Amino acid sequence: MTCSRRALLLGSLAAPALAKPEVRPSILLILAEDVGAWMLGCYGNPEIRTPNIDKLAQLGTRFTFAFSASAAGSPGRAALLTGRFPAQTGITDFLTPEPIENPPQGQAAAPESFRNEVMISDVLAKQGYSCGFVGHWGLGTDAQAQHQFGFWCTTAPGTLQRQNPTLNRNGRQATEKGDLNELLTANACQFIEQQTKEKPFFLTVAYPVGCRPYEGLAQRYYDLYAQAQFDRIGREPAAANALRDADLLRDTVGHLRKAAAALTAFDDQIVILRSKLSERGLAENTLIILTSDNGSLLGRHGLWSDGHASDPINMFDEVVRVPLIWSWFGPIPPEGVRPELVSACDLLPAICEAAGAPVPDNRNLSGRSYLPLVTNRPLPKKQPWSGVVFAQLRDTEMVRDNRYKLVLRGHGKAAGALFDLRSDAREKANQYDNEQYVTIRDRLAAELSSWRKKYSS
């Protein structure tokens, strides 16, 4: 299906309020694991090629300041899908008591309490949506379909395989021949093939984009970056406190070439998914959302991976600021850019509003629907958008507003961190002990304490 820019603009101008949509949209949620906003072309990266993601952003609305609720995969993904903070879901790190020095291998189980969490899929299934999940689950008992997902295809836990991966597919585990990205996309397309215009669907496709190993991709992706030096990416020599994936910093440029290749390989899947929707006549009424559970540093700050990249845990913007793009022909204007700070915990209420579904009761949700922002509708009077977001990984917590970021760590392991992002966007100067910032530090600490008390269960 093709659609001119003029048609898109006319559709957006005529878009009605969506509190009770006459036609419920189908929803395709694309999760790019370990991909920070800073890594994409549409967010200003000139050295990593993401043309299909950039095109998706042009067709819809992009949030410039969207944040994960955590600086690591499992807690970030759990918060994204439930709308609840890590302390609430019980998943505050790996699904294991083992530290980063001895990460989990094989099957892992989520806390028993996590079974009672209500996910987006649970809400939409009750509204008559067909629900499917494809890709990296990482939330325990990966082989078993959960939370009303009727179609289930997940990567087997343990070591990631880029070629000939083992997949759990609708109750059966098997090694499948081919490229992991392409196999996940093929399974997602199979789900889409089964859908009709008469019944909406909710499909989540979670690609392990930034996970090691980076080897095993088609050679053409490595060839794209064979000569790249990444002089503008902000890479730095290995930091003294580098921890997770610190070995990659011995050849930062070489591994950047591989990581960039993995991201571009993922980018190519976007156009395949969109083409399948068009082929089935489903594109016009499918809301596409692209986001991530957390980001990566890739040499910035002399670190490589996520919040675990350093000792102590870090909360740099590279690992908590994620891409967030909404695209839906008609209701969402093209080439939209929103500057508000939004949280992963806002996704569930926003999807519920778009689908005309009720927000789950008695879940003590911290998020708020940002659908009015996406569709350029005014917020209710006397209800301005909050300018503060929070994140948590183990005993490390973050509170961030439009100018300042405070990071506090428990158990006295390390001092806190305070950054003035207006004058220090790359978070180089820690102002935590600076007397000129005491009032700001204490104000943010009080906000974090209040948040912790309210959303700890």
Mean pLDDT, 10 residues at a time, the chain of 457 residues: 39 40 88 98 98 98 98 96 96 73 58 88 98 95 92 87 92 92 98 96 97 94 98 97 97 98 98 98 97 98 97 97 97 96 98 97 95 94 94 96 96 79 97 97 96 91
Measure the CA–CA gap between 369 and 186, rounded to whole angstroms. Answer: 32
In the block, tokens 């806190």 appear at 416
Q: Closest Cα to residue 396, out of 112, 34, 87, 139? A: 87
Both 272 and 308 in a single domain? yes
| Count of CB atoms situated within 10 Å of the CB of 15 | 17
Asked whether 121 and 191 are in contact (CB, 8 A), the reply is: no
pLDDT of residue 98: 59
Tens of pLDDT, residue by residue over 204-253, are 999 999 988 999 999 999 999 999 999 999 999 999 999 999 999 999 99
Both 195 and 267 in a single domain? yes
Both 290 and 147 in a single domain? yes
Picking from 373, 388, 403, the residue at the C-terminal end of a domain is 388
Task: Provide the whole-model pTM.
Answer: 0.93
Alpha-carbon separation of residue 217 from 41, 223, 282, 433 (angstroms):
21, 11, 30, 47
Asked whether 179 and 6 are in contact (CB, 8 A), the reply is: no
Asked whether 228 and 46 are in contact (CB, 8 A), the reply is: no
Question: How many domains is the chain built from?
Answer: 2
Range of the domain at 407: 395-457
Both 162 and 235 in a single domain? yes
Tens of pLDDT, residue by residue over 412-422, are 556 799 999 99
Quickly list H helices, 14-167: 51-59, 73-82, 86-89, 120-126
Both 381 and 399 in a single domain? no
What are residue 456's phi and psi, to 5 degrees? -95, -5
Picking from 351, 370, 388, the residue at the C-terminal end of a domain is 388
**Residues facing 390 on adjacent strands:** 399
Helix axes 347-355, 73-82, angle to 10 degrees: 30
Both 57 and 157 in a single domain? yes
Give me the CATH number covering residue 177.
3.40.720.10
Both 313 and 412 in a single domain? no
Measure the CA–CA gap between 445 and 454, rounded to whole angstroms. Answer: 14
